[in-house]
């Protein structure tokens, strides 16, 4: 029979910042005492790092002592090889000799050499040593890695293949095992991620081909899309391998973490599936999907181009406006740009050739289309699709579109009808922090258009408190951009409509008409 290592606390910590309440941990430990699980990985050990990281990122001695008393299982901690130098090992590990049975190292395959040096010291301290080597799908690309593999026998007790991207298939597992087996006799392990719901079948395949230890976590709790679910592995063992199982204990373990699942909602979903099937870091995909307004198609095209090493965006003619405007009115995507559109339109009037409109988003643009003033559109994220929707196929659309400076992080969709009206900015003058948001584009366009007065409508901010993390990020970014713009240009930004933004001055539209 193969062994099982449950790393719920360690890997689940990515969602809780490594804090878990006492009751959860106790219920977990006591359930595990009644389940056929061999090792419990309960946290990291780490030298002091900046920022708040919780209890199980540092795993203080008093906690390990308590767990050692409660648990009848072998206990494991893990070190990030990247962050640990040989001179740290005494501090990190001497105090836990006798409390902890195995020390694992999370290892970038390109650092296997230095990991072996660390491991020699750890081994001498009397610990079992586990190598958790990441990015298994890339191993065959690294010659150094292959060479170093020969050096692990006698040092690593377990050599784990980690499917970091959650993108490997059973056939890949078999091929990786075949590769590794050429160079080492070390006992093999497998740590699967569940992006493509293949964690179970990959783990069973690994076992079938000789792996002797499998990682799992309760409810799959773990970074990104999460891991092989301990309850799934055990249910399958019970029927497929006839292993006796205390289902009440298993239920208790599951129940202990269910409130956390309700709160943090880990597990696979479309973005994780995409990052998995493209073997791309899920962190990047999630950042793009959740904190930016790029269209899914742009993100995926960018990711796939990145994978295929294709440069994914074309260089456009530079944005060089033929005239300048005294006033620019920036229209945002908030409901107030529609709510107060009559007044804003009256304020703009025919513009006397002195006023232009800059649409940070096309969301409210249809309302303003009838105005006979020059209008500019910021083309970023999924604004290309939005233009098509708002202007029903763009048959009547006749205005210039402004894109971020080249090279853009990902291809921006430009509808065919506006390609000849699309231009890119040469650079962003007033900030270095952002170069591709709706707001930065709109403000830089105002600069390029020579505007001396800049008004804003439809930047409402968010009403619901508490803000989501995405909203907080966007609000913070916009506040920075408004501030930076005003400092750089000396121009005061006036919001004509109600706003929650603190860096905008307010001038009611109704006071101006």
Q: Among residues 30 and 453, whose Cβ is nearest to a copy of itself? A: 30
Collapse the DSSP code of 318 into the 3-class scheme (helix H, G, I; strand E, B; otherwise coil) and give the result: strand
Can you tell me the distance from the alpha carbon of 35 to that of 235, in angstroms, rounded to the nearest whole number? 11
Q: Among residues 130 and 226, whose Cβ is nearest to a copy of itself? A: 226
What are the beta bridge partners of residue 133? 107, 161
Count of residues binding a copy of itself (CB under 8 A)? 40
Shortest separation between residue 300's beta carbon and a copy of itself, angstroms: 5
Name which position in 80, 277, 435, 489 contacts a copy of itself (CB under 8 A): 277
39 close to 4: Cβ distance less than 8 angstroms:
yes
157 close to 130: Cβ distance less than 8 angstroms:
yes
Tokens of 251: 């239920």
Shortest separation between residue 460's beta carbon and a copy of itself, angstroms: 23
Name which position in 64, 250, 330, 456 contacts a copy of itself (CB under 8 A): 250
Q: Among residues 170 and 321, whose Cβ is nearest to a copy of itself? A: 170
| 235 lines the binding site for a copy of itself (CB under 8 A) | yes
| 291 lines the binding site for a copy of itself (CB under 8 A) | no
| 410 lines the binding site for a copy of itself (CB under 8 A) | no
Shortest separation between residue 267's beta carbon and a copy of itself, angstroms: 8
Can you tell me the distance from the alpha carbon of 425 to that of 446, in angstroms, rounded to the nearest whole number? 12
Name which position in 21, 90, 185, 248 contacts a copy of itself (CB under 8 A): 248
Residue closest to 474 by CA, chosen among 198, 290, 278: 290
Residue closest to 134 by CA, chosen among 158, 170, 102, 110: 110
Name which position in 17, 71, 238, 400 contacts a copy of itself (CB under 8 A): 238
Name which position in 9, 78, 173, 198 contacts a copy of itself (CB under 8 A): 198
| 168 lines the binding site for a copy of itself (CB under 8 A) | no
Q: Among residues 147 and 251, whose Cβ is nearest to a copy of itself? A: 251
DSSP secondary structure string, 399-455?
A: -EEEEPPSSPSSPPP--GGGGGGEEE-S--SS-SS-SSSHHHHHHHHHHHTT-SEEE
Q: Which positions from 170 through 189 interact with a copy of itself, judged by CB under 8 A?
A: 170
Judged by CB under 8 A, the stretch of 79-87, 132-140, 239-247, 454-462 that binds a copy of itself is: 239-247
Residue labelled with tokens 């007065």: 453
Can you tell me the distance from the alpha carbon of 110 to that of 282, in angstroms, rounded to the nearest whole number? 20
Collapse the DSSP code of 76 into the 3-class scheme (helix H, G, I; strand E, B; otherwise coil) and give the result: strand
Tokens of 400: 């210039």
Residue closest to 481 by CA, chosen among 458, 504, 497: 504
| 239 lines the binding site for a copy of itself (CB under 8 A) | yes
| 300 lines the binding site for a copy of itself (CB under 8 A) | yes
Q: Among residues 105 and 221, whose Cβ is nearest to a copy of itself? A: 221
Q: Residue 66: which residues within 8 A CB-CB, separation 6 or more?
A: none
Tokens of 186: 């070390």
Shortest separation between residue 307's beta carbon and a copy of itself, angstroms: 9
Collapse the DSSP code of 4 into the 3-class scheme (helix H, G, I; strand E, B; otherwise coil) and give the result: strand
What are the beta bridge partners of residue 422? 401
Interface residue list for a copy of itself (CB under 8 A): 169-170, 194, 196-201, 229, 231-232, 235-236, 238-240, 245-248, 250-251, 254, 268-270, 273-274, 276-278, 295-297, 299-300, 304, 382, 385
């Amino acid at each position: 029979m193969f062994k099982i290592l449950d790393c719920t606390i360690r890997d689940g910590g990515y969602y809780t910042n490594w804090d878990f309440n006492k009751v959860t941990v106790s219920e977990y430990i006591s359930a595990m005492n009644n389940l056929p699980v061999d090792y419990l990985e309960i946290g990291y050990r780490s030298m002091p790092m900046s920022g708040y990281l919780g209890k199980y990122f540092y795993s203080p001695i008093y906690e390990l002592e308590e767990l050692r008393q409660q648990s009848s299982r072998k206990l494991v901690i893990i070190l990030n090889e990247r962050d640990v130098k040989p001179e740290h090992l005494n501090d990190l590990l001497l105090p836990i000799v006798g409390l902890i049975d195995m020390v694992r190292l999370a290892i970038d395959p390109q650092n296997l050499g230095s990991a072996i040096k660390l491991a020699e010291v750890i081994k001498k301290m009397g610990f079992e040593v586990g190598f958790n080597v990441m990015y298994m799908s890339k191993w065959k690309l690294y010659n150094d890695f292959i060479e170093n593999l020969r050096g692990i026998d006698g040092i690593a007790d377990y050599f784990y293949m980690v499917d970091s991207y959650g993108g490997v298939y059973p056939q890949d597992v078999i091929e990786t095992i075949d590769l590794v087996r050429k160079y080492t006799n070390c006992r093999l392990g497998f740590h699967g991620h569940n992006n493509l719901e293949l964690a179970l079948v990959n783990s069973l395949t690994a076992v079938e081909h000789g792996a002797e230890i499998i990682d799992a976590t309760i409810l799959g709790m773990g970074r990104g899309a999460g891991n092989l679910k301990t309850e799934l592995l055990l249910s399958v063992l019970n029927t497929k391998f006839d292993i006796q199982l205390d289902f009440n204990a298993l239920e208790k373990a599951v129940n202990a973490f269910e409130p956390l699942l309700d709160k943090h909602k880990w597990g696979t979903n479309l973005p994780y599936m995409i990052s998995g099937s493209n073997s791309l870091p899920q962190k990047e995909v999630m950042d793009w999907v959740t904190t930016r307004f790029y269209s899914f198609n742009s993100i995926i095209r960018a990711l796939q181009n990145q994978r295929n090493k294709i440069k994914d965006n074309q260089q456009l003619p530079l944005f060089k406006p033929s005239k300048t405007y005294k006033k620019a009115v920036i229209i945002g995507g908030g409901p107030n740009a529609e709510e107060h559109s009559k007044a804003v339109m009256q304020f703009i009037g025919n513009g006397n050739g002195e006023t232009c409109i800059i649409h940070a988003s096309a969301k409210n643009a249809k309302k303003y289309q009838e105005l006979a003033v020059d209008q500019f559109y910021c083309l970023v994220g999924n604004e290309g699709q939005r233009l098509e929707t708002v202007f029903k196929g763009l048959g009547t659309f006749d205005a210039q579109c402004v894109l971020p400076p080249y090279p853009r992080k990902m291809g921006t969709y430009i509808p065919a009808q506006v390609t000849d009206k699309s231009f890119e900015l040469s650079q962003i003058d007033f900030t270095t922090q952002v170069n591709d948001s709706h707001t930065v584009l709109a403000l830089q366009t105002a600069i390029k258009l020579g505007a001396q007065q800049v008004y804003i409508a439809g930047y409402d901010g968010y009403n619901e408190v508490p803000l989501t993390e995405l909203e907080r990020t966007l609000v913070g970014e916009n506040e920075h951009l408004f501030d930076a713009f005003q400092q750089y240009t000396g121009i005061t930004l006036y919001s004509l409509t109600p706003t929650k933004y603190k860096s905008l001055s307010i001038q009611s539209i109704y006071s101006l008409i």
